[in-house]
Structure 1
């Protein structure tokens, strides 16, 4: 089996076209170099070099073909060595990220990616949209490494999360909606409205937001349309099917017939969390988590 040392010895002889000079360059005995080249030729079953004491060393036809491949192989080996060393320091590798829509609209995800790329340009990033409950399953199964998700009171075993972004809420509705022209929208004004919200098969989520809103306005909020994400909810709201209570950053999403109103007397912050496996083995993933938490200035939860 050919090894990298034999390839380096062979390319040194080709570049010097002289065994003594090549041996000096490699800092080995000329006899050892000659022995290694002979073993290489024996392993391959072909002569690579023409040796003549009175003339410079020359390549055979097979030697010329082998030399080109040897140079390419050494470059790959050097690259692999470099990547391996970078990966050990978290400077190379792959980080797979799942995110909810407001992770994008808030700028939280793009900010993390931009800052991380400056210090870790050789780390590959894969991103995929994914609702919050699905992210926790994907983290546990190794499908993703990082989740940008809505926080929960309790996380699955082995998952840890940190708040990285906070914002207020707004109401999205059709621009023809009777409340669209209100100068000041109060919580009580939303009584008897049809609400549209992402809500999954769990007790937590934006269902809690609607309950709090109803309590603030003195009514019981009823979820008429259960959707998978805010984009779907905004599409229904713009068409007049109801109102959607969304994070303020979603107001960056504009489409014909859609408007946004703040709720003057309802201060209910909503958060985004960075979730990851508690015992993460990948240095690149650990580096991303560390850089993102340092950027947010938040303490782990």
Structure 2
């Protein structure tokens, strides 16, 4: 069985076609180089070099063919060595990431990906949109490594989460609504209006915010329309089907026919969190979590500056 050292010696000799020069360049005795090449030929069962006392050595046909493969093998070994060292530092490997739609609209997902890629360009990302409950299940069973979720009061065993972003809730109204001309809206003014509610497939999370809005306004805020995401909710609001309680970041995806108003008596915020396994051993997964947490610190610092 040939080893990488024999391959390196042969490639060096094939480049110089001179035992003395190659031995000097490699920092070994010429006799050692000669012995290693003879052992390589013996292991392969073929002559790789034409050795002439009065002429320069040349490669045999077999030697030329072997050189191509040996050079490719060395490149692969060098790549394996580089990737292995990067993986040890969390700069190579793969990460399975889940996210909810608001992670896109707030900038959390693209900004974290950009920062992480700058530090770890060799890490492969597998990214899938998924609601918070499903993400937590997949984190628990190992199908996901990290999730961008709405925080919960309780998490599965072995899973934790840290809040990285917070944003205000607004009400999306049809542009032709009488309320659209007001500077702000009271919760009680929404009493008779139909609500369009995204992502209401569980009692926790955003459903709780709508329920609190109803309590403040003195009504039962049951949705008239249930949709899959905030953009659909805003689209329906713009068409006059009703109103929607939405995070402020959705304003960046506004469509004609809809306006966003603050609620004067409902100063609620919704949060985004990065969820991950407590005992995570993968360096690249830990690196991505660190990038998300750094994003959160930067957002908090920016929020403090804007409120001064």
TM-score normalised per structure 2: 0.89
Worse-matched range after superposition: 100-109 or 234-243: 234-243
The equivalent residue for 2:9 is 9
**What value does the CA root-mean-square deviation take over the aligned residues?**
1.9
Q: Secondary structure at the match of 1:71?
A: helix
- 1:12 to partner: Cα distance: 1.3
Worse-matched range after superposition: 222-231 or 83-92: 222-231
Aligned length: 298
Pairs within 5 Å for 1:175-186? 175-186=175-186
Q: Deviations over 1:189-214 (max 9, x none)?
A: 11122222234543202110011101
What CA distance in whole angstroms lies between the structure 1 residues aligned with 2:134 and 2:279?
Answer: 20
Q: Deviations over 1:42-101 (max 9, x none)?
A: 333322111122222111122122212211211111011011101101122222321111
- 1:13 to partner: Cα distance: 1.0
Pairs within 5 Å for 1:96-175? 96-175=96-175
- 1:264 to partner: Cα distance: 1.8
Gaps of 5+ in 2: 299-308
Pairs within 5 Å for 1:55-74? 55-74=55-74
Q: Secondary structure at the match of 2:179?
A: coil
Worse-matched range after superposition: 88-97 or 197-206: 197-206
Pairs within 5 Å for 1:186-197? 186-197=186-197
Pairs within 5 Å for 1:24-43? 24-43=24-43
Q: Secondary structure at the match of 1:147?
A: strand
**Are the counterparts in 2 of residues 199 and 226 from structure 1 also a CA contact under 8 Å?**
yes
Q: Deviations over 1:248-287 (max 9, x none)?
A: 0011112233322221221111100011111112101101
Q: Secondary structure at the match of 1:154?
A: coil
The equivalent residue for 2:216 is 216
**Are the counterparts in 2 of residues 131 and 229 from structure 1 also a CA contact under 8 Å?**
no
Q: Say yes or no: does 1:86 pair with 2:86.
A: yes
What CA distance in whole angstroms lies between the structure 1 residues aligned with 2:226 and 2:127?
Answer: 25
List structure 1 segments (4+ residues) > 6 angstroms apart after TM superposition. none
The equivalent residue for 1:242 is 242
- 1:171 to partner: Cα distance: 1.1
**Are the counterparts in 2 of residues 192 and 221 from structure 1 also a CA contact under 8 Å?**
no
TM-score normalised per structure 1: 0.91
What CA distance in whole angstroms lies between the structure 2 residues aligned with 1:159 and 1:200?
Answer: 23
**Are the counterparts in 2 of residues 188 and 216 from structure 1 also a CA contact under 8 Å?**
yes
Q: Deviations over 1:221-246 (max 9, x none)?
A: 11222323222322332232221101
**Are the counterparts in 2 of residues 197 and 227 from structure 1 also a CA contact under 8 Å?**
yes
